[in-house]
Structure 1
C-alpha cells in the first residue's frame, strides 16, 4: 500500500502547486499580508497613518533627497512597544526640510528648503540641552523612494500603511459574507418550500440593488469610518455565497450519505454542518476568493467617493482621489502607484481563485 496520500485534499493541493500563477499569487498575497501587519515597522515614516507633512517638498518625484532637521518631541505620553508596532508612533519628532545649516555653540542656524529657485527662511534653534554629537544626529539626509504626495508626505509610507485597509477589508467582508451566506443558503436549500421562497425573495431583492449603491446606503446609515465600511461591504457580499450554498445543498441533500445520516437519527443541524457543508465547500472557497477582490474594489471606490476611510487614514482609493488631477499636471505617478497596487492585489486574488477552481475540480 502506497504511503502517498490519495485523498481529494492532497490531490487538490498537488494540482494547485503545479499552477505557477496560483502559487505566485498566494505568496504575493502572503507578502502583502505581512506588509499590512508590520507596515509601521517597514515604513520610513512610522508616525500614525504616516502623516508627517512637509508642505515645502510636496509632489516631489520618486528618489527625491533632502536634508531633514528633526526637532525632538516634547510630548512625554507613554506608548507601548506593540502599540507603536501596530498603530504607529504618537511622539514623533517635528521634521523640517532644510537646504543648508551651521552649528555654533549648541545653536543650529538653518535655511528652510524652498523649491522653484526660491530662497527659504533662515532660523536659529537653541539646543543647549543636547551635546554636539546629539545635535549632529538630528540632521540627516532623507530619501523619498516613491516621492511625496501633495501634502509632502512620504508616498512609500502611505502606500505601505494603506495596504492594511485594502487587505483586511477582504478578510472582514468575506468572513461576514460567509457567516450570513452559508446560514441563509443552508436553510433555504435544506428545508425548501416556503422557507426557500422567503429567503430567495430576500436574496433577489438584495441582488437587484447595485452593490455600490447598497454599500453607500449602509455606510451612510452606520456613519463614515473605518469599521463601518468593513461591515457595509460584508453585508453586500453574502448574496452570492447564499445562492451557491443553496444550489449545492439542493443537490447534496439527495445523496446517499445524507439519507443514511437521516436514517441514523441525526438532527438537521448535524447533518448540515458535519456532513453536507464539508462536501460542498470547494465552490464556496472559489467564490470567497472572488469576493476578496470585489471587496477591495468596493472599498477603493468608497474611499474615492470620500465615504470610505476618512483622513488622515491612508487608503489606496483615497490616494487616487487626492491625486487623479495630477495625471494631466505631469505627475501621474501620484495616482498610478496606488492604482497599480489595487490592480495587482485584485489580480492576485482573481488568479488564486482561478487556480483553486482548477485544483478543486474533480472532473480534471
Structure 2
C-alpha cells in the first residue's frame, strides 16, 4: 500500500477489491445492460403493442430467424399517438392489421390481391391452385370510418367513393378526405409492405419471442427491486429492533421469524394473494417481498448483537445519543457489507420465486409475458423434433440473471472482507 492510499476512505478500498473480481465486474455490466433493456422496454421491442400480444396466428411456433413478408392493413379506428413516457409504460397499439403473405401482392382494379401465408390451396382432380384474397386498396392504406354515415351519400356500402383519378373517403374521425390513386399506391409501397424477421422465432399463437423476452426482463427486475425494498424495510426494522433491545422484543421477533421461516414461500405467496383477492402483478411484488424479510432480519440481528457491545457504541450511549440515532448512524452503516450480500442474494431469489409462481399460473395476469410464463407455455408445446426455442431462451435468461446476481454477491462479500482468501 502506497503512502497516498493510507488516507483513502474504506469505500475506496472496497471498490478497488471489487474491481479485481472480474466475474463480479462482468456480472455488474450485464445487470446494468439488462436494466437499460427493462427500462426502455417497448421502445426497443420489435412488437411494441401492450404486453407484446400482437401475434400473427398464421405463423405459430416458427424457429429463430424466421422471415415472412407482411401486408399491413390500416385499422378502421382512430388510435391516438402516445407520448414517449406513455409508450415506455404501456406500449402502443398497432395501427395496422398485419397479414403474413406469400410472394408479392398484385394491385388491379383498385384492389390488392394476395395469398395469405402459407397459402390456401384448392384441390381439384388434376390441379392444385392457391386461392387469392383481395382487399380494396383504399381500405388497406387508409383508416376508414367504420360506422354507417351519410356524409358521402345515401345507401353507400362503404364510407368511400372511388372515382377515375382519386378516392373520397371518411377518415377515422369522420372527416371527408380526398386522395389520388397515385398517392395511395405510393403510400402502399412505403408503409403497407414489410419483410419481418423474428430473431428468436414465434410462440404458439405467432407472438414475437424476443419482444416477450424483453418484457419479461422488465417484470423480473421490477419484482426483484420492489421485493427487495419491501424485504429490507421489514427485515431491517425487525432485525435492528430485536438485536438492539433484546429481551422480550427479541424473543417475540425470533418467534415471528421462526414461524415465517417454516412456511414454504409459495404457500405464503398463495395465502397473500387469496387474502388480497387480486391477480394484479403488484400482489406478486408484495407477496414475494414478504417471504424474504426473514433473511434480512436474521443478518441484521446477528450483526447488531456483535456490534452493540463495542466500545464506540457504549460511548454514544454515554454521550446521550438516542437509540434511533445510534442504530441509524452508528450501527447500520457498519453492516452494509453483509446487507449488500444478502440484497444480491434476495434479488436472485425473487426472480426465481416469480418464475416459479408464473410457471404455476400464480404470477401476474395471464396475458403478461414473464420468463416463468414463457417456460410454461413453451413446455406445453415442446416436442422431440422441435420448438426448443420456446423454452431455451427464457431458461437462459433466468439462469444468466440469477448467476450474475450471485456472482455480484460473492464479489461484494470479498470486497467488504479484506481478509477473504480471494483477496490474498
Common fold by TM > 0.5 = yes
Q: How far apart are 1:92 and its partner, in Å?
A: 3.2
Change beyond 3 A, Cα 1:116–1:61: farther
Q: 1:27 aligns with which of 6, 25, 29?
A: 29
Q: How far apart are 1:327 and its partner, in Å?
A: 2.8
Equivalent position of 1:336 in the other structure: 392
Equivalent position of 1:63 in the other structure: 65
Aligned residue pair count: 364
Change beyond 3 A, Cα 1:158–1:202: same
SS class of match (1:146): coil
Q: How far apart are 1:3 and its partner, in Å?
A: 4.2
Q: How far apart are 1:125 and its partner, in Å?
A: 2.9
Distance 1:231 1:10 in 2: 35
- The answer as to 2:131 corresponding to 1:77 is no
Q: 2:308 aligns with which of 239, 253, 268?
A: 253
Mapping of 1:1-364 within 5 angstroms?
2-4=3-5, 5-73=7-75, 74-100=77-103, 101-104=105-108, 106-114=110-118, 119=130, 122-127=133-138, 128=167, 129=179, 131-137=184-190, 138-222=192-276, 223-329=278-384, 330-364=386-420
Say if 1:54 and 1:96, in contact at 8 Å, map to a contact too: yes
Deviation larger for 70-79 or 206-215: 70-79
Distance 2:355 2:121 in 1: 38
Say if 1:106 and 1:131, in contact at 8 Å, map to a contact too: no
SS class of match (2:214): helix
SS class of match (2:382): helix
Q: How far apart are 1:53 and its partner, in Å?
A: 1.5
Say if 1:38 and 1:86, in contact at 8 Å, map to a contact too: no
SS class of match (2:78): coil
Q: How far apart are 1:2 and its partner, in Å?
A: 4.3
Q: How far apart are 1:120 and its partner, in Å?
A: 6.0
Structure 1: gaps (5+ residues): none
Distance 2:115 2:108 in 1: 15
Say if 1:181 and 1:240, in contact at 8 Å, map to a contact too: yes
Deviation larger for 185-194 or 92-101: 92-101
Say if 1:249 and 1:276, in contact at 8 Å, map to a contact too: yes
Distance 2:362 2:211 in 1: 22
Distance 2:109 2:196 in 1: 25
SS class of match (1:62): coil
Larger Rg over CA atoms: 2
Q: How far apart are 1:115 and its partner, in Å?
A: 6.8
Distance 1:78 1:252 in 2: 57
Distance 1:28 1:337 in 2: 16
Distance 1:239 1:152 in 2: 42
Change beyond 3 A, Cα 1:120–1:247: farther
Q: How far apart are 1:105 and its partner, in Å?
A: 5.0
Change beyond 3 A, Cα 1:72–1:81: farther
SS class of match (2:46): coil
Structure 2: gaps (5+ residues): 123-129, 139-166, 168-178
Say if 2:79 and 2:93, in contact at 8 Å, map to a contact too: no
Change beyond 3 A, Cα 1:304–1:253: same
Deviation larger for 36-45 or 22-31: 36-45
More helix by proportion, 1 or 2?
A: 1
Q: How far apart are 1:237 and its partner, in Å?
A: 0.6
Cα RMSD (Å) of the superposition?
1.8
